[in-house]
C-alpha cells in the first residue's frame, strides 16, 4: 500500500464528508460520493446547502470530482466512510446508513485497498459490524486482502473557528503498519496534527466519550438551572460568578440536540448494556436533557397563567429551529419538543428560523416554519436558538412581535437579564 498513489473516495457528503473531500481534493485525486443525486448536482455548481463550504472553497479542490454513480468508485484504493449514525425511535443505534455504505464500498473493494471509517459508533462496531459486511460483499479477507482504519470526525457544524484542518485528528488502523499509513494520510491535510490511538476500539471509544462527557456536564447545569429557577436565582449570574475560579468548567443550560451530543451517549450505553453493565450517570443525564423541552413549555404556561394570559388558543412564536446557532442543521433538534409540548396545552405555535430550509423542515420534522413573523401577534415569544439575526434584532424589535401583554422567554441568554421575562 503506497500512500502517494492512494486514490480516495469520500462516501457521504454531509457536514463531515464534504469538508474532508474538499481538503483532500486539493492534494490528490478524490471522488466525493453520495447517493443523493440532487446533492451532487448542487455541489457540481458550487452550492453547499450545509454552508460548511463556500463556492470558492469548492473551486479550490482541483482534484475533486463529485459522483452519485457507484461505478466511479471502481478505481479508488482508499475509501473514507462518513455517513450519519443516528438513533431510532427507541434510542437504539441505527447503523442502516453505515451498513449500506459498507456494502457499496465492499462491491468496489480490491486486494490491497484501505477502508477508513469516520462515523460515530460504539467501541467495537467497525470490526464487529462493518468489516464482516466488507468481507461478505467483496469476497476478500480482512487484514490479508484489505485493511481498515478509524479516524473519528470532529466537525462542529457552523463553527468557523474549529475547522477540520485546525483540530487534532485521532487516527488508528487494523495493523501497526496501516495505522502509520492512516496517520500519514491525515497529516497531509490536518495542520493541527494527529494522535495515533493504539487500536480501532480505542479511537471509537475516544470519540463516543467526547460528546458523552459534554452531555453529562450540560445535564448537571440543566439540573442546577431547575433548582435556581425555583429559588428565583438567575442561573447565568451564578455561572458567571463561578467562572471566576480557575478550575471551574463552563457550560450553559439548554436544549441538547444535534447529531452528536444528543445521540452519541446512546451508542455507548447500548454497548455497555450489551456486555451486562447498566450505566447510571450517562442515562440519568440523557433523561434530564431529554426532558428539558417539557420543562420549558410547562414553565412558560405557568408564567402565562400568573400574568393572567389566557393559555388555550394563545399564540407563541418560537425563534429558532436548528439544533444550534448560525447553522441550518435540524438533525435531532429538540426545539420540536418545546413546540409539541406547547401544543398539548392548546397553544398555537409558529416557528421562525432564517437559517433553516422550510422544505427540509416540513419533510424531516413535519414542521412548516413561517417566512416572517408579524408584529403584535403573539402572547409569548421564546428565543430557542442564539442565531446572530436574533441578537441583532435586540429586545425592542423582538418584543414588537408580541401583543401589548406578552412574555419573552430567553433560553439562550441572547438578551440581557433585564430584557426578558424568563430565562433558563
Distance CA 214, CA 211 (A): 5
Radius of gyration for the chain, computed over Cα atoms and rounded to the nearest angstrom: 23
Distance CA 67, CA 11 (A): 10
Q: Give φ, ψ of 231 to 5 degrees.
A: -90, 0
Tell me if residue 260 is catalytic.
yes
- From the list 53, 78, 130, 260, the catalytic residue is 260
**Closest-CA residue to 358 (of 366, 369, 349, 350):** 369
Cβ atoms 81, 104 nearer than 8 A:
no
Cβ atoms 151, 184 nearer than 8 A:
no
Cβ atoms 37, 107 nearer than 8 A:
no
Cβ atoms 225, 253 nearer than 8 A:
yes
Tell me which residues are annotated as active site. Answer: 260
Amino acid at each position: 500500500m503506497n500512500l502517494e498513489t492512494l486514490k480516495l473516495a469520500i462516501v457521504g457528503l454531509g457536514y463531515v464528508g464534504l469538508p474532508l473531500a474538499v481538503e483532500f481534493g486539493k492534494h490528490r485525486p478524490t471522488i466525493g460520493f453520495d447517493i443523493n443525486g440532487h446533492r451532487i448536482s448542487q455541489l457540481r455548481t458550487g452550492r453547499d446547502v450545509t454552508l460548511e463550504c463556500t463556492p470558492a472553497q469548492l473551486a479550490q479542490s482541483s482534484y475533486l470530482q463529485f459522483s452519485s454513480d457507484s461505478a466511479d468508485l471502481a478505481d479508488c484504493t482508499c475509501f473514507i466512510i462518513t455517513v450519519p449514525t443516528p438513533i431510532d425511535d427507541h434510542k437504539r443505534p441505527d447503523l442502516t446508513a453505515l451498513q449500506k455504505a459498507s456494502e457499496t464500498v465492499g462491491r468496489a473493494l480490491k486486494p490491497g485497498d484501505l477502508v477508513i471509517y469516520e462515523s460515530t459508533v460504539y467501541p467495537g462496531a467497525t470490526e464487529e459490524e462493518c468489516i464482516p459486511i466488507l468481507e461478505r460483499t467483496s469476497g476478500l479477507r480482512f487484514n490479508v486482502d484489505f485493511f481498515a482504519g478509524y479516524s473519528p470526525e470532529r466537525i462542529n457544524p457552523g463553527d468557523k473557528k474549529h475547522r477540520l484542518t485546525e483540530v487534532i485528528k485521532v487516527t488508528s488502523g487494523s495493523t501497526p503498519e496501516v495505522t502509520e499509513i492512516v496517520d500519514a494520510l491525515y497529516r497531509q491535510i490536518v495542520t493541527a496534527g494527529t494522535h495515533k490511538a493504539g487500536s480501532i476500539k480505542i479511537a471509537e471509544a475516544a470519540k463516543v466519550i467526547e460528546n458523552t462527557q459534554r452531555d453529562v456536564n450540560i445535564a448537571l447545569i440543566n439540573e442546577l438551572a431547575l433548582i435556581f429557577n425555583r429559588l428565583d436565582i438567575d442561573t447565568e449570574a451564578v455561572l458567571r460568578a463561578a467562572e471566576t475560579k480557575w478550575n471551574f468548567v463552563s457550560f450553559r443550560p439548554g436544549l441538547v440536540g444535534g447529531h452528536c451530543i444528543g445521540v452519541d451517549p446512546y451508542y455507548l450505553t447500548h454497548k455497555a448494556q450489551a456486555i451486562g453493565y447498566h450505566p447510571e450517570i450517562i442515562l440519568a443525564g440523557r433523561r434530564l436533557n431529554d426532558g428539558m423541552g417539557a420543562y420549558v413549555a410547562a414553565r412558560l404556561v405557568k408564567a402565562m397563567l400568573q400574568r393572567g394570559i389566557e393559555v388555550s388558543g394563545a399564540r407563541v412564536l418560537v425563534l429558532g429551529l436548528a439544533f444550534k446557532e448560525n447553522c441550518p442543521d435540524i438533525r435531532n433538534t429538540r426545539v420540536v419538543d418545546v413546540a409539541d409540548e406547547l401544543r398539548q396545552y392548546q397553544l398555537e405555535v409558529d416557528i421562525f428560523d432564517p437559517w433553516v430550509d422550510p422544505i427540509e423542515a416540513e419533510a424531516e420534522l413535519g414542521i412548516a416554519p413561517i417566512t416572517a413573523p408579524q408584529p403584535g401577534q403573539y402572547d409569548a415569544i421564546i428565543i430557542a436558538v442564539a442565531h446572530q439575526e436574533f441578537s441583532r434584532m435586540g429586545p425592542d424589535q423582538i418584543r414588537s412581535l408580541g401583543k401589548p401583554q406578552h412574555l419573552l422567554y430567553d433560553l439562550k441568554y441572547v438578551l440581557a437579564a433585564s430584557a426578558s421575562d424568563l430565562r433558563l
